Amino acid sequence: MNNQISIILEEIREYTQKYPELKKSHHFLFNCPLDSQSSYADVIVVGLNPGETQPDWKYGTSLPTEESSEFDFHDELGKGRSSVRWSQLCKEYLPGSNIFLSEFFFWSSGNLDNEFKDRFGYSFKKSPHFEFCKKCNEKMIAHHKPKLVVATGTSWASFFSSIYKMEHIKTVQCIKDRRNRNIIHHYSFKGVPFIFTPHWSSGYVSNHEKEDIKSYLSKYL
C-alpha cells in the first residue's frame, strides 16, 4: 500500500496513544480493503464507528489493534474479513467493486449509546475526534480517487455533511414503499459523489428500498 497511507496509519496509532479513552477500544478501522489483494478503491464505504463483539476480544495482543490495509485482526482470529457480515452486505449493495472501509469515528465500541459513552466519556455526537478523522478520511479519498463514497445512516447525513462541508445535490424518496422514506441523501465532496443511505444491516430496510438504493448506487459504479 502507498507510503502516504502508511504515514496516515502511523499518525492514527500515535494519536490513539495520546488519548486514554481511545486506548480502551479493542481496535480502530481505517483504509480497510474487503479484498486484501486490492490496492485501490472504486468505492469507499464509511460507517459511524466500528462495531465490536465479545469474540473480538479473543484477539487481545497489543490493544487497540486494527482493521486496516496493513493489519486486520480478523485474519489473525482465523475467520478472515470475508466472514464478517458487513463485508457481505457491502458486496451485495456494491457488486463487482473494489471496496475499502473507513469510519467517521475510527475507534470501536459495542454500540453508539451507553457502551460508547461509558467507554469514551462523551456521547457520539460530542466526540472531540471528528476533525482528526475527517483529515485522515480526506487524505484517503484523495489517495484512492474513488468513483463513489457511501455512508450508511441517513439520520447523520446533515451532521456529517456539515462537518465535511459537502455540497447537497439531491434527496430521493422510495415511492414504491408505503413509508415513502428518504433513502438517498446525495452530496458532493471535493468532486466525489458522497451518498448517505439507510444502514444496510437494519431490519427496517424494505425490499423496495433495497432495490432502489442498489439501483441508485449502480449509476456511479
pLDDT in tens, 96-111: 999 999 999 999 999 9
Determine how β-strand 148-152 pairs with β-strand 192-197: parallel
End-to-end CA distance of the chain: 23
Backbone angles phi, psi at 145, to 5 degrees: 50, 55
Q: Are 77 and 58 in contact (CB under 8 A)?
A: yes
pLDDT bin (cut points 50, 70, 90) of residue 93 is: very high
pLDDT bin (cut points 50, 70, 90) of residue 48 is: very high
Separate counts of helices (H) and strands (E) for the chain: 7, 9
What 3-state class would DSSP assign to 49?
Answer: coil
pLDDT computed for residue 195 by the predictor: 98
What would the mean pLDDT of 171-188 be, rounded to a whole number? 96
pLDDT computed for residue 78 by the predictor: 65
Q: How far is CA 59 from each of CA 14, 81, 83, 105, rounded to the nearest angstrom?
A: 21, 14, 16, 21
Q: Are 137 and 210 in contact (CB under 8 A)?
A: no
**109 against 203, higher pLDDT:** 109
pLDDT computed for residue 81 by the predictor: 59
> How long, in residues, is the chain?
221
**85 against 10, higher pLDDT:** 10
What does the alpha-carbon distance between residue 215 and residue 11 come to, in Å, rounded to a whole number? 37
Q: Are 107 and 50 in contact (CB under 8 A)?
A: yes
**130 against 55, higher pLDDT:** 130
pLDDT in tens, 6-38: 999 999 999 999 999 999 999 999 999 998 888
